[in-house]
Structures are given as structure tokens and as C-alpha cells.
Amino acid sequence: MKICLVTSFPPSRDALNEYGFHIASELQRIPGIELTVLGDEYSPAQPELDGFSVNRCWKFNSLNNPLRLMRAIKQQKPDVVWFNLGFASFGGTPPSAFLGIATPALARATGFYTHVTLHQLMETVDLEDAGIRFPLLYKWGGVLATHLVLFANSVSVMLPAYRSVLVEKYGRGSVYVRRHGIFSARPEYPDLASRGNPEHRILAFGKWGTYKRLEPMVEAFKEVARQIPNARLVIAGTDHPKTPGYLQSIREKLASRPDVVFIGYVAEDDIPQLFQSSSVAVLPYTSSAGSSGIAHLACTYGVPIVASDIPDFRRLADEEGLAIDFFSPGKINELARRLSDLLQNRERQIEMAMQNVSAALRMSMPEIIRQYLRTFELRRELEQMRSISSLRKIPRWMPMRDLLVRRTARKALLRLEAAATDESASAAVVAGGGPEVLYMARAAPAEKHRPTGTE
């Protein structure tokens, strides 16, 4: 199967680049998948990541993105064009964002199978809180943009509530629920011995400045530090594109506080150590723009979570089983109390850590990708069935009619057998066989049924 993945992609630091990287990493491991990443341009130029075929064919805020992407897609002729996006993935201005979000519909209109992994809904975003100047205009633009997204052959969202919104409000499109998943083939057992020894590190990680603001966290930490002298606040991440200079302003205000550390952008290789050494991850958001990648990273390494009591975080706790202690958004005293109570309760820390690791085990990236590929394979099987049906309508007196029917049916049967083996291997993963079992099981049918070259 040949897949084009449209996503921001490292070394780019634009939104969703980490998620795009982990999708691509898993796809690269699967025999029979030929992957090309259609990534975003960035500066300054850096070497591409080893092992990936990347075509930098679009640019954030460019109005030419649909034309450039369509040119690249036509050159590749993929079986699937997979878009990993949010509503602002292609631009921070309404024209560039809207034209970019229309690209999946354009790709389908030209005959390509398109799938969209949609990380947010306009209906769940607090536009005023996100710093939007004309929220009513954006709301109507968001409705139109959502209609365009639903023109794709299929769409995946990350929470059941999101699917309900699309089904009930828009009443169209083929919409699936696919969990966000953890950024790993398997979670890591939490390094409990290093937490609180010699210091309790409170991690605040994100793109800061809009609905993710640090002022409540900083004020709450003053009270936490008074009660727990070995507490440290670690602020990681970068400015939100709409609020350049925000982090620097906070850093200047806290220049005299040695117990507050700013570490900036975190490279992929540094993420495990950052989370393993943290006693708690804090999500002090005033609203949300989708399923939280930071919350899922915390699960990967068994880190307890303290988060604002907003609908999306409640859904993560209820639907995915995440261990989250909630506080009312903007309530500084309540946040300080939650953090202090947790850092002074070792048993609660261990309980939350193990619950989050258990949740992570149920949504490893190989399992999430298997669900996507099964959807794509089913689509190919349906196309094969349709082609057999259309061939049978050819008059029997036509030359080579029976030969064409037999050859098409044989190809369809081979694909069905491969899909059945894939399902058996996936069951082994769920039963505890591990992702390597799935890899080995997939490799066998790929070799067995590939007479020459690559499928």
C-alpha cells in the first residue's frame, strides 16, 4: 500500500509535527507500506531525519498550498492520502488556513482516497479565550471548513464526543473514533525512585500564551514552594504563534527565582528524561483545542496529572481512564492545594502513575495505526469486490472475460487472507504478545503473497 502522509514534520516545529513523526515511524516499520511524507517547509534548513522519504511541498501561511500539494500527490499516485491536521495547520490567517483545510476535498475530487485525522473541532474551541478577534466570523468559517473536511472519504476524531458533534450537527461523512494514543510502541515503567529525590519537579509543558497561560501556575507555585521547599517548577515549550515573546516576559518576571526553570523547546530524544524526572504534569489551561498530547505523554511515562476542570480533560479521564486531579480553571488556591496534597502523598503519586501507565498500555501507537490500516484495507477490499461485480456484467461472448474475472477474484482473495492474518496478529498483541508479534505476523503474509517486487 502506498501512502502519502500530509503533516508538519520534524525538524519543523509547527503544530502536530510530533504526532506526524510518530505516525510515520510506525508506518515505516510495517512491511508492504510505501510511505512518503508531504511535509512543511521550515527555516533554518536542517538535515532530514534518517529513514524517511520527505517531500517539503507546502509552507505555513502560504496561499499556494493546495496547488503545491496536489502537484505532489499526483506525482506520487498513492493508494491513500492521509492528512494529519487541525484547523490552523496550514496557516495562522483565515485565507491560508481555509484553503489548506480544503485540500482533502480537492484530493478526493481528483480521484484519490483521502483520510483526515482531525485533532480539534471548532465547536469545542473557546474562540475568545484563544485570542480570536472576530469569533462570530470564525465560527461560521469553521462550520464551512468542517463541511469541507467531511468531503474526505473518511475522517477520524479522537474523542467519542467529537464524533457525536459531527454526526448530529452535520449529518454526513464517514467518521471514526481513533484514540490519540501514546507516542510510543509501549509505555515506560515510571522511575518512581527519582521523583522527589532530591526534588519534586512540577512540569508545565506546552505552547504558551493564549488559552495556555502560566500566571496561575506561577502564583500557585509560590504557595507550593512555601510548603514543600524541594519543589521545582519546570516550564517547557515555546510561545504560541499568536503570542510571540510571552515566555520571555514571564522569564524576566521570575529572574530572581532559582526554583523556576525554563528549558524551551524539548527535542524528541530529551522527552523521556524530562517526564521520568517529573513528579507531576500540570495542564493549567482555561479552555482546550482537542485531545491533549501532553496528557498522553504523561501517561507514556506514568506521570500523575493535575489539570483544569474543562470538558475535554473530563472526557480523557472518563473515556480513556487517565488519572487526573482536577481544579477549577483560574482558581489559584485550589491549584496550589491540589499540587501540595499530591506531592505530600506518596501513595497517591504511585497510584496515579500506575493508572496512567495502564491506560497507556491500551492505546499504544502500533495498535492505533493498525486500526487506521484496517480501515484502508477494507476500502481496498470493497473496491476489489466492486471491480469483480462490474466485470461480471461484461457479456460472456467478450474475449478474455472469464480470465479477467478469475484474476481479479484471485487478487481480492489474497488481500482478504492477508487482512485475516493481520487481525489474528492484532489479537495476539491485545493478549500480551507485544508489538513485535504483530510486526512478525505482518511480515510473513507480505512475503508469502508478493510474487514480484512490492505491492
| C-alpha distances in Å from residue 198, one per residue of 194, 280, 358, 379 | 8, 15, 27, 54
User: Is there a single domain that holds both residue 357 and residue 271?
Assistant: yes
Which grid cell sits at 441? Answer: 505476523
pLDDT of residue 452: 29
> Which one of 145, 177, 209 terminates a domain?
177
Q: Tell me whether residue 186 is in a domain.
A: no
pLDDT of residue 443: 37
> Has this prediction a pTM greater than 0.85?
no
Contacts of 135 by beta carbon, 8 Å cutoff, 6+ apart: 127, 128
Q: At 427, which amino acid appears? A: A
What's the first-to-final CA gap in the chain, in angstroms? 6
pLDDT beneath 50, residues of the chain: 422-455
Sign of the dihedral through C-alpha 89, 377, 165, 291: negative
User: Is there a single domain that holds both residue 60 and residue 172?
Assistant: yes
User: Is there a single domain that holds both residue 399 and residue 443?
Assistant: yes
pLDDT of residue 453: 34
User: Is there a single domain that holds both residue 243 and residue 344?
Assistant: yes
Domain that residue 305 falls in = 192-361
Q: Tell me whether residue 378 is in a domain.
A: yes
> Which one of 361, 379, 413 terminates a domain?
361
CB-count exposure of residue 150 (10 Å: 0-12, 13-18, 19+): buried
**Rounded Cα distance, 352 and 202, in Å:** 15
User: Is there a single domain that holds both residue 376 and residue 421?
Assistant: yes
User: Is there a single domain that holds both residue 173 and residue 196?
Assistant: no
User: Is there a single domain that holds both residue 161 and residue 199?
Assistant: no
User: Is there a single domain that holds both residue 145 and residue 283?
Assistant: no
**Rounded Cα distance, 366 and 357, in Å:** 16
Contacts of 451 by beta carbon, 8 Å cutoff, 6+ apart: none
pLDDT of residue 431: 39
DSSP strands (E only) in 14-87: 34-40, 54-58, 80-85
* DSSP structural state of residue 192: G
Q: Tell me whether residue 455 is in a domain.
A: no
User: Is there a single domain that holds both residue 317 and residue 263?
Assistant: yes
User: Is there a single domain that holds both residue 213 and residue 270?
Assistant: yes
Residue 22 sits in a domain whose CATH number is 3.40.50.2000
User: Is there a single domain that holds both residue 240 and residue 271?
Assistant: yes
Note the pLDDT tens digit of each residue in 127-162.
665 566 666 777 788 899 999 999 999 999 998 889
- Per the structure, the count of domains in the chain is 3
Q: Tell me whether residue 275 is in a domain.
A: yes
Q: Tell me whether residue 329 is in a domain.
A: yes
Q: Tell me whether residue 184 is in a domain.
A: no
pLDDT of residue 292: 83
**Rounded Cα distance, 309 and 87, in Å:** 24
Q: Tell me whether residue 187 is in a domain.
A: no
Q: Tell me whether residue 85 is in a domain.
A: yes
> Which one of 345, 361, 377 terminates a domain?
361
Which grid cell sits at 413? Answer: 482473495
User: Is there a single domain that holds both residue 289 and residue 256?
Assistant: yes
